Amino acid sequence: MNVWLIRTEDFEQKSLSKIEELLNAYDGPISFKCHKNIFLNSISKKGSIHPDEALIQMVNFRKLYKIDPTDFVCLYTNTRLSNNFFTHGDGFRNFIIHSADWGLYTNAGNEFPDAYLLYSNILKSFVYEDYGKMYSHMHKDSSLGCYMDLCVHKREILLKLRTADICDNCLEHIHDKHIDGRIIGQILDAFEGLRKQLLFRNRLQLETKLSRIEITPKGKFILPDYGNIELKFSPLRKSIYKLFLESKQGYTMADLLGSDSKLVKLYQSFQPNKTFNELNATIQGICDPHSMRIHEEISKINAEIVKKLGERVSVNYIISGERGEKRKINYNLIKEKTY
Ligand SMILES: [Zn+2]
């Protein structure tokens, strides 16, 4: 089952890609994909979007691109909805999410509430047959911290995200629907994971607990104790980083250049569609002592880690070491890694 992410012109592709990455950090049957289609801001001429007009365009979008009726479509926009809702749907697996103004309430990044709202909309659409029924079940008291709280202010949505809770009543509704357990598992993992990631971002300067690194069956590098923050590497960088993860002592540059056969094996596991000769040629290029490629790859690996974990926490995860000395990953508990 796919969820297609689309955007209006005023919502950057970069922001949509961040949301896509975050949504896909939780394994399960639902896959999230950015669609190349951009909704023209003709639907927002008056400075606001009429949700019904946007939903009609989304129905046309489905026809044009032959979107499977079981798939979901979600439009992200920075333009206000004319009914002032933060999110709106039609009961036919189409949603709109208004993303602006989160910055007034959190510095963690808009992508967290944007991703949470989509997962929560998907869950609601599995539990309630139509939009009217869903709306009538929403809690008018928005302080329960339940995903069904009707939130009038954006800060209340952040409260829901901080609790990531579902009240007993709503749990019963979910249970009665006999929804595929893998779907429910993915959504609940996402609620909990997004909560942890938001807290991690907010406490970045105070965080003292270190997370394990886990490599998923799909070859993703995630930090499960930080809510599945993903370190996004190319297959080549995955093999270099895994080589360091598996070594307590680390490698001097000379050691590394002699580890080419190990690297080819690791590279093969992350890039199974390439032939041995292709993989070997890439690794020989990296391990050429006259080239700086290995240094470049290591600094790109480290840059991704600093981007995701911040300067302070990342010192435990980057590949570090002085020139001429062994390079290694400092984090001791990496030996207890779960893969
Ligand atoms: Zn509830």
pLDDT at 45 exceeding the cut of 70: no
Tell me which of 40 and 52 has the higher pLDDT.
52
CA 187 to ligand 1 centroid distance, Å:
15
Tell me which of 132 and 320 has the higher pLDDT.
320
Over residues 310-320, mean pLDDT: 90
CA 49 to ligand 1 centroid distance, Å:
29
| Cβ–Cβ under 8 Å, residues 231 and 244 | no
| Cβ–Cβ under 8 Å, residues 189 and 119 | no
CA 102 to ligand 1 centroid distance, Å:
23
CA 160 to ligand 1 centroid distance, Å:
11
CA 313 to ligand 1 centroid distance, Å:
36
CA 148 to ligand 1 centroid distance, Å:
5
Nearest to 68 by CA among 4, 114, 25, 132: 4
CA 95 to ligand 1 centroid distance, Å:
20
CA 331 to ligand 1 centroid distance, Å:
40
Query: What domains are there in the chain, each with its CATH number?
Result: 2-202 (3.40.390), 214-336 (no CATH)
Strand duo 2-8 + 72-77: pairing: parallel
CA 150 to ligand 1 centroid distance, Å:
10
CA 164 to ligand 1 centroid distance, Å:
11
DSSP code string of 245-258? HT-SS-B-HHHHHT
Model confidence over 57-92: pLDDT tens digits? 999 999 999 999 999 999 999 999 988 888 988 888
